[in-house]
Amino acid sequence: MAAGSALARQAVSPATTPPKIPPGSYPGPRSPTSYPKPTPPTSYPKPAPPSAYPGPAAAPVASGAPLPPVDWAAVKAQFETAPDQVNMSAMLIATHPLPVRKAIDQFRRELDWRPVTYLEDNNRRLQSYSRAAAGRYLALESDQVALTDSTTMGAGLIYSGLKLLPGDEIITTNQDYYITHESLRRAALRNGTIVRRIDLFDSIETVSEPQMVGRLMTAITPRTRALALTWVHSSTGLKIPLPAIAAALAPINAARQPTEQILLIVDGVHGFGNQDFTLASLGCDIFFAGCHKWLFGPRGTGVIAANARGWQRLRPTIPTYVDSAAWSAWINNAPLLENTDGPLMSPGGFKAFEHLWSIPAAIEFHEKIGKAQVAARTTELANQLKAGLALMPHVRLVTPRDPRLSAGIVSFDVHGLSTDSAVAALRRRRIVASAAPYAIQHVRLTPSLMNSPAEVDLALAEVRGLAGV
């Protein structure tokens, strides 16, 4: 047996097999009197307004200055995870840290205790707190943020809501993900938009910032109205140079009328929660992401954020419940002057409100650690993983080593094994890897705040043990 497997046994507890229950022996529901009575809602603290949520733990650190230390063991202790595995796939779906679990539980109990009155009394206020928290994280006003269910919902709402004319053009890349391609395809069927795909680079081994920026700028035509891009690719782990792309777009847009300017629209989910940025620092006009990946926010939540130019070019698709003007226009049978913003773009409907309202807890969790510290930790763990993989003769490292061109996703191939076989082998060894769901697949390990350098070493030992399997 490989040495790595022995190391794994020392670091994690053995799996626990749940007891088998014979068919027909499942107990029926308990009688209502056997359930404990819920704690009266007066015992729960009222959610704090946005101004009460603390900002960053320390003043901004001067460029080049050392970052304040973080107790990473204490951060890791905020997560309850299975002791019999090392989860290196947090990029797929979040484990809630303790503050998020507490917030969700508080709101769940309130809704169970008095669902109608609590919802009616608090929904708009609590959603506004969530938008304010996300806005603070992105250095935006709360009305510049809409709340969604996921990255996928964000893509659908944005690309179906763009104000475009037949023959207007959107440029995306062949390296972008399914949700971008499919949202654009469906939008084109509805409004006659032209969607063009280009190759962002020739080879991941030789990709560079000038190559990517040059490819995009060369593809632009007088009919181009948007670039539909992904910040961090979930296939290769490539992080594209958004600030450089935005800088190259600026002189082109300066020579155009406002309605003909090119929007920079970004699926940012795999940088949201592991990079130190604001919407302005990225340079994009419209940004969308799920909160339930690297941000470790409530599952089933997401955001759309946009600057003034971005909001001016969008129309809502799903009716909202949190915009007073929309309701008033409907009640009074009056025309609605649609100045699209975050509240108007936030889909209505009944949903897991306790999750939607708990977004501030996730934002505060990151702010207390420090955005710069989170980004540095992500880079540290990813660099450790990439350095170890690069030394293995049976492994092809796919993700660029340069941290300017990568974030937290580390993709690789194992010679002699298909991607699915390699992922399955690692999971048998209690390392939770994932497969990139593309035509060309790669194995992915994505160390995050949940992980430690020791766990990265453990994962490397198990990948090393796949040689000759």
Cβ contact 459:445 at 8 Å: yes
* Higher per-residue confidence, 68 vs 304: 304
pLDDT digits over 248-276, tens only? 999 999 999 999 999 999 999 999 999 99
Percentage above 70 pLDDT, the chain: 86
466: number of Cβ within 10 Å: 22
Burial class for 276, CB neighbours closer than 10 Å (0-12, 13-18, 19+): middle
CA distance 309 to 313: 7
> Could you give the CA distance from residue 77 to residue 239 in angstroms, rounded to a whole number?
29
pLDDT tens-digit readout, 364-410:
999 999 999 999 999 999 999 999 999 999 999 999 999 999 999 99
Please tell me the predicted confidence (pLDDT) of residue 327: 86
How are beta strands 434-435 and 443-445 bridged, if at all?
Answer: antiparallel
Parallel, antiparallel, or unpaired for β 194-198 and 431-432? unpaired
Q: What's the average model confidence in pLDDT over 13-28?
A: 42
The more confidently predicted of residues 44 and 118 is: 118
pLDDT of the residue at 64: 59
Q: Of 129, 126, 147, which Cα lies nearest the Cα of 342? A: 147
What tokens appear for 167 in the block?
A: 């023959």
Q: Which residue has the higher pLDDT, 337 or 72?
A: 72
Q: Kindly report the average pLDDT of the chain as a whole number.
A: 89
- Identify the band that residue 338 occupies on the pLDDT scale cut at 50, 70 and 90: confident
As its CATH architecture, domain 118-367 has: 3-Layer(aba) Sandwich (3.40)
State the average pLDDT over residues 304-322.
Answer: 96
Whose CA is closest to 86, among 445, 464, 466, 469?
445
Q: How far apart are CA 439 and CA 433, in angstroms?
A: 18
pLDDT band with cut points at 50, 70 and 90 for residue 469:
confident
**pTM value?**
0.87
Determine the CATH number of domain 371-464.
3.90.1150.10
Q: Which stretches of 220-317 are DSSP H helices?
A: 242-254, 279-282, 308-312
Question: Are 438 and 431 within 8 A, CB to CB?
Answer: no
What's the pLDDT band for 35 if we cut at 50, 70, 90? Answer: very low
Query: How far apart, in whole angstroms, are the C-alpha atoms of residue 378 and residue 390?
Result: 18
First-residue to last-residue Cα distance in the chain? 11
The confidence band for 85, taking pLDDT boundaries of 50, 70 and 90, is very high
pLDDT grade, residue 99 (50/70/90)?
Answer: very high
**Cβ-contact 367, 137 below 8 angstroms:** yes
Q: Where are the domains of the chain?
A: 118-367, 371-464
